[in-house]
């Protein structure tokens, strides 16, 4: 009997696997079909004979001009958007594109996270990619946008620009529970040295200690990329009211995917307990 | 209506349950039971009725969980933020809680038969005194049961829970039971209200909202999160199966992530112990550097000492908490 159930379970999961694979396949092929149609019809409609760059960047450059205007059409924009990559293989170019689109749409703080610390270890590579994508995607508008990178742990600015419009920050699991533990140790030491009493320890005090080290507001929205349904240790203290929107993958992600998620966020209603 | 449902599952429910159980099953599921008020609006009934139906759905869900072999359930019944609601609604919810906990106390035999242990997590001092006493009685009465566990988060927010855990550790330091350097991720976890439970494997939020709303933020860092659009009073066995299926699909990745995290924790602890030993040796030192073997011996000695300190502290903390509940519950008897 147990064997029968196990077979049924395997069959069920095989079906789900096939369904997921089909959905992913359709996602890629419908996009390619769309691009082909646009690629054919647009130049015909505008009478342009030269086709601009094709390939992976094609869908990104076609969105170049609208970004700023798009941001203004949304009812609300997150002040801080977190990009949570749960996939094992990370494509820096795609992540950089996401960051640049967020900047273009008008999001002030963008953070990037993965639970293996890949972004943290490759901070400079990510920065380079972001600057590259800024040029490529925003083209002649790129001078209007400037990005400030905050290094993890310290607030040394890696890349200083004159007018800051967006702040990009990289997080890893050390910024989550471990930060809370460090704040706890600090408070315990203060109690040991009689600088503080037990009454001085509350949510507000802990929150301001944690805020000090991060220097960034709580994320309003987290976009989770990949099939893993978990926050994987991303800033547990800070995500108390964060909307978590899942997207299938960050690989070959399009601006439309991002904007769709932002539209969904704009319609969320936060009652804050009331 | 009762907390315990005796109803047996239907044939198709049993069949589905057995198929699901061929794969990995969550042992502890947490629910954010959202959507009572929207349900009330939809069904054109009073809000209070919506909350009441929500409780009925809870009892039903507990039965389904037991049939699926899920022996621990944590629910978000009332947030500290919910005190912001109208006095009428808050009073109504407190009255509902009074009724349900009173009812629970009359069902003790049944609870014992099924081995149900009820725990209430939150800052109970924020609740009316009589409700505190009722809750304390229920907790004390079911403390020894160990077949299945229901954790009710009442007057709870995760940030308060974490801040309270930090306060407890500071109390430990004040009492001389532990040192500030003993504070670690593991120890903080043991000081939360939920310290007697493992972390939830699966967190389910109903009504379509996709946020955690200050619920088990620490404990669900590596849990499977499932957001379902169904309103809580309309929750069905099939919705639960869907969530379990989602858990099974994420299982391998989550196991990997949890293992990675545990490894990191152990490394962190070892590093912390090493630096404490180095500091100790420096203070004690007479200039002569120790050889590797002696250093290792000192490290083992230090770790054993730390673990003993922590064990004593946790015992003292548990005793302190048990005393609070016992005192509260005995007050009710006198009254």
pLDDT tens, position by position, A227-249: 999 999 999 999 999 999 999 99
Residue A11 lies in a domain: no
pLDDT class of B4 with cuts at 50, 70, 90: confident
Q: Cβ of B166 and A184 within 8 Å?
A: yes
Distance of CA A189 to CAs A169, A245, B173, B313, Å?
A: 29, 39, 8, 17
Cβ–Cβ < 8 Å for B223, B255: no
CA distance A180 to chain B (A): 8
Q: Given a cut of 60, is residue A57 above it in pLDDT?
A: no
| Strand pairing class (B28-32; B72-79) | parallel
Q: Given a cut of 50, is residue A61 above it in pLDDT?
A: no
Nearest to B218 among A115, A230, A236 (CB): A236
- Smallest CA-to-CA distance from B231 within B36, B97, B42 is with B36
- Please give the pLDDT value at position B1: 58
Owner of token pair 């702040």 = A167
Residue with the bigger pLDDT between B76 and A2: it is B76
Count of structural domains within chain B: 1
- Smallest CA-to-CA distance from A59 within A85, A27, A88 is with A27
Q: Which residues of B touch A192 (CB under 8 A)?
A: 173-174, 179-180
The 10 Å Cβ neighbour count of residue A126 is 21
Nearest to B185 among A177, A183, A201 (CB): A177
Q: Is B110 left (phi over 0), alpha (psi -120 to 50) or beta?
A: alpha
Tell me the C-alpha distance between B90 and B76, whole Å. 15
Q: Given a cut of 60, is residue A51 above it in pLDDT?
A: no
| CB of A191 less than 8 A from some CB of B | yes
Q: Given a cut of 60, is residue A115 above it in pLDDT?
A: yes
The 10 Å Cβ neighbour count of residue A131 is 16
- Please give the pLDDT value at position B42: 93
Question: What is the layout of strands, in order, in the sheet containing B202-205?
Answer: B116-121, B148-156, B72-79, B28-32, B202-205, B224-227
- Cα A29 to its chain centre, rounded Å, is 24
The CATH number for A136's domain is 3.40.1180.10
Give the angle B63-A244-A124 at the CA atoms, nearest 5°.
Answer: 135
Residue of B nearest to A202 (CA): B163
In A142-161, the residues whose Cβ lies within 8 Å of chain B are none
- Please give the pLDDT value at position B284: 79
Q: Which residues of A touch B223 (CB under 8 A)?
A: 230
CA distance A127 to chain B (A): 26
Percent of chain A's residues with pLDDT above 70? 79
Q: Cβ of A5 and B19 within 8 Å?
A: yes
Q: Given a cut of 60, is residue B73 above it in pLDDT?
A: yes
pLDDT class of A145 with cuts at 50, 70, 90: low
Tell me the C-alpha distance between B99 and B90, whole Å. 14
Residue A145 lies in a domain: yes
pLDDT class of B287 with cuts at 50, 70, 90: low
Residue of B nearest to A1 (CA): B18
Residue with the bigger pLDDT between A145 and A87: it is A87
| Strand pairing class (B148-156; B202-205) | unpaired
- Reported as a single tens digit per residue, the pLDDT across B119-138 is 999 999 999 999 999 999 99
Backbone φ and ψ for B73, nearest 5 degrees, come out as: -130, 135
List CB contacts of A199: < 8 A, sequence separation 6 or more.
Answer: none
The CATH number for B150's domain is 3.40.1180.10
Q: Which residues of A touch B181 (CB under 8 A)?
A: 185
- Smallest CA-to-CA distance from B159 within A224, A84, A209, A274 is with A209
Poorest-confidence range of A153-167, A186-200, B74-88, B276-290?
A153-167
Interface test with B, best of A87, A190, A240 (most B CBs within 10 A): A240
pLDDT class of A150 with cuts at 50, 70, 90: low
- Please give the pLDDT value at position A157: 43
Torsion angle, CA of A244/A210/B254/B208, rounded to 10 degrees? -20
Q: How many residues does chain B have?
A: 335
Can you give chain B as a three-state secondary structure string? Answer: CCCCCCCCCCHHHHHHHHHHCCCCCCCEEEEECCCHHHHHHHCCCCHHHHHHHHHHHHHHHHHHHHHCCCCEEEEEEEEHHHHHCCHHHHHHHHHHHHHHHHHHHHCHHHHHHHCEEEEEECCHHHCCHHHHHHHHHHHHHHCCCCCEEEEEEEEECHHHHHHHHHHHHHHHHHCCCCCHHHCCHHHHHHCCCCCCCCCCCEEEECCCCCCCCCCCCCCCCCCEEEECCCCHHHCCHHHHHHHHHHHHHHHHHHHHHHHHHHHHHHHHHHHHHHHHHHHHHHHHCCCCCCCHHHHHHHHHHHHHHHHHHHHHHHHHHHHHHHHHHHHHHHHHHHC
Range of the domain at A235: 65-151+163-173+216-267
Residue B1 lies in a domain: no
Tell me the C-alpha distance between A74 and A155, whole Å. 31
Strand-pairing partners, residue B118, are B150
Q: Which residues of A touch B20 (CB under 8 A)?
A: 9
Nearest to B159 among A203, A229, A243 (CB): A203
Residue B148 lies in a domain: yes
Residue A120 lies in a domain: yes
Q: Given a cut of 80, is residue B51 above it in pLDDT?
A: yes
Q: Cβ of B214 and A241 within 8 Å?
A: yes
- Please give the pLDDT value at position B9: 86
Q: Cβ of A183 and B268 within 8 Å?
A: no
Distance of CA A23 to CAs A27, A163, B236, B246, Å?
A: 6, 43, 26, 16
Nearest to B250 among A183, A229, A272 (CB): A229
pTM of the model: 0.90
Interface test with B, best of A2, A21, A273, A274 (most B CBs within 10 A): A273
Residue of B nearest to A194 (CA): B174
CA distance B220 to chain A (A): 8
Q: Cβ of B261 and A233 within 8 Å?
A: yes
Interface test with B, best of A88, A203, A209 (most B CBs within 10 A): A203
- Please give the pLDDT value at position A156: 43
Give the angle B180-A175-A202 at the CA atoms, nearest 5°.
Answer: 50
Tell me the C-alpha distance between B150 and B71, whole Å. 8
Q: Given a cut of 90, is residue A159 above it in pLDDT?
A: no
Residue B94 lies in a domain: yes
List CB contacts of B187: < 8 A, sequence separation 6 or more.
Answer: B169, B178, B310
- Please give the pLDDT value at position B282: 84
Residue of A nearest to B222 (CA): A232
| CB of A138 less than 8 A from some CB of B | no
Cβ–Cβ < 8 Å for B96, B55: yes
Q: Cβ of A184 and B183 within 8 Å?
A: yes
Count of structural domains within chain A: 1
Backbone φ and ψ for A110, nearest 5 degrees, come out as: -125, 130
Poorest-confidence range of A29-38, A91-100, A154-163?
A154-163
Q: Cβ of A201 and B166 within 8 Å?
A: yes
Q: Which residues of A touch B248 (CB under 8 A)?
A: 13
Residue B259 CB burial class (10 angstroms; 0-12, 13-18, ≥19):
exposed
| CB of A206 less than 8 A from some CB of B | yes
Residue B234 CB burial class (10 angstroms; 0-12, 13-18, ≥19):
middle
Q: Which two tokens stand for residue A79?
A: 């002040």
The Cα diameter of chain A in Å comes to: 78
Q: Given a cut of 80, is residue A109 above it in pLDDT?
A: yes
Residue B2 lies in a domain: no
Q: Cβ of B223 and A268 within 8 Å?
A: no
Q: Cβ of B166 and A8 within 8 Å?
A: no
Residue B178 lies in a domain: yes
Residue of A nearest to B243 (CA): A229
CA distance B217 to chain A (A): 5
Q: Cβ of A184 and B81 within 8 Å?
A: no
Can you give chain A as a three-state secondary structure string? Answer: CHHHHHHHHHHHHHHHHHHHHHHHHHHHHHHHHHHHHHHHHHHHHHCCCCCCCCCCCHHHHCCCCCHHHHHHHCCCCCCEEEEEECCCCCCHHHHHHHHHHHHHHCCCEEEEECCCCHHHHCHHHHHHHHHHHHHHHHHHHHHHCCEEEECCCCCCECCCCCCCCEEEEEECHHHCHHHHHHHHHHHHHHHHCCCCCHHHCCHHHHHHHHHHHHCCCCCCEEEEECCCCCCCCCCCCCCCCCEEEEECCCCCCCHHHHHHHHHHHHCCCCCCCC
Cβ–Cβ < 8 Å for B85, A274: yes
Mean pLDDT over each residue of chain A, to the nearest integer: 83
Q: Cβ of A232 and B221 within 8 Å?
A: yes
Q: Which residues of B touch A206 (CB under 8 A)?
A: 159, 162-163, 166
Residue A109 lies in a domain: yes
Residue B201 lies in a domain: yes
Residue with the bigger pLDDT between A162 and B156: it is B156
Residue B175 lies in a domain: yes
Give the angle B231-B221-B215 at the CA atoms, nearest 5°.
Answer: 45
Q: Given a cut of 60, is residue B198 above it in pLDDT?
A: yes
Residue B80 lies in a domain: yes
Q: Which residues of A touch B224 (CB under 8 A)?
A: 229-230
């Amino acid at each position: 009997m147990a064997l029968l159930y196990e077979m049924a379970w395997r069959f069920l999961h095989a079906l789900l696997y096939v369904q997921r694979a089909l959905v992913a396949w359709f996602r890629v092929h419908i996009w390619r079909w769309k691009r082909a149609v646009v690629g054919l019809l647009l130049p015909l409609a505008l009478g342009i004979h030269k086709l601009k760059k094709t390939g992976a960047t094609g869908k990104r450059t076609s969105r170049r001009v609208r970004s700023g205007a798009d941001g203004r059409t949304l009812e609300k924009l997150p002040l801080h958007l977190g990009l949570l990559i749960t996939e094992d293989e990370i494509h820096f170019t795609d992540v950089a594109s996401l960051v640049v689109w967020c900047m273009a749409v008008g999001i002030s703080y963008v953070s990037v996270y993965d639970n293996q610390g890949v972004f943290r270890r490759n901070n400079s590579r990510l920065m380079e990619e972001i600057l590259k994508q800024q040029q490529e995607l925003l083209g002649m508008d790129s001078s209007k946008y400037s990005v400030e990178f905050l290094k993890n742990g310290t607030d040394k600015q890696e890349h200083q620009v004159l007018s800051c419009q967006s702040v990009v920050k990289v997080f890893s699991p050390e910024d989550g529970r471990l930060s809370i533990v460090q704040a706890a140790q600090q408070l315990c030491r203060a109690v040991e040295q009689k600088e503080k009493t037990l009454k001085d320890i509350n949510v507000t005090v802990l929150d301001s200690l944690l805020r000090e080290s991060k220097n960034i507001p709580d994320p309003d929205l987290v976009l989770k990329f990949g099939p893993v349904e978990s926050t994987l240790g991303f800033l547990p203290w800070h995500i108390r009211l964060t909307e978590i929107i899942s997207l299938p993958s960050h690989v070959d992600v399009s601006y439309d995917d991002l904007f769709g998620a932002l539209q969904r966020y704009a319609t969320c209603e936060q009652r804050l307990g009331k | 209506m009762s907390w315990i449902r005796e109803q047996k599952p239907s044939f198709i429910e049993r069949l589905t349950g057995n198929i699901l159980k061929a794969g990995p099953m969550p042992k502890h599921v947490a629910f954010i039971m959202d959507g009572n008020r929207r349900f009330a609006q939809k069904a054109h009934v009073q809000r209070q009725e919506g909350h009441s139906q929500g409780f009925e759905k809870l009892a039903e869900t507990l039965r389904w969980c037991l049939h699926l072999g899920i022996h621990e359930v944590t629910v978000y019944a009332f947030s500290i933020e919910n005190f912001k609601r109208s006095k009428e609604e808050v009073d109504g919810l407190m009255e509902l809680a009074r009724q349900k906990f009173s009812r629970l106390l009359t069902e003790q035999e049944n609870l014992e038969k099924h081995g149900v242990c009820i725990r209430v997590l939150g800052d109970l001092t924020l609740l009316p005194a009589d409700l505190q006493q009722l809750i304390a009685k229920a907790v004390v009465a079911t403390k020894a049961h160990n077949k299945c566990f229901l954790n009710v988060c009442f007057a709870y927010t995760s940030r308060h829970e974490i801040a309270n855990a930090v306060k407890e550790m500071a109390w430990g330091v004040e009492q001389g039971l532990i040192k500030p350097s003993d504070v670690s991720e593991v120890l903080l976890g043991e000081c939360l209200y939920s310290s007697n439970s493992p972390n939830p494997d699966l967190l389910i939020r109903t009504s379509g909202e996709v946020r955690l709303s200050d619920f088990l933020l620490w404990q669900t860092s590596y849990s499977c999160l499932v957001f379902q659009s169904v309103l809580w009073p309309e929750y069905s066995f099939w919705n639960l199966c869907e969530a379990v299926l989602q858990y099974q699909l994420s299982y391998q990745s989550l196991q990997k992530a949890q293992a990675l995290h545990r490894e990191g924790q152990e490394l962190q602890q070892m590093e912390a112990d090493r630096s404490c030993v180095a500091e100790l040796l420096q203070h004690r030192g007479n200039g002569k550097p120790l050889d590797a073997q002696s250093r290792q011996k000192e490290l083992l000695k230090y770790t054993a000492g730390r673990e003993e300190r922590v064990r004593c502290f946790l015992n003292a903390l548990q005793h302190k908490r048990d005393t609070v509940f016992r005192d509260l519950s005995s007050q009710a008897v006198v009254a």
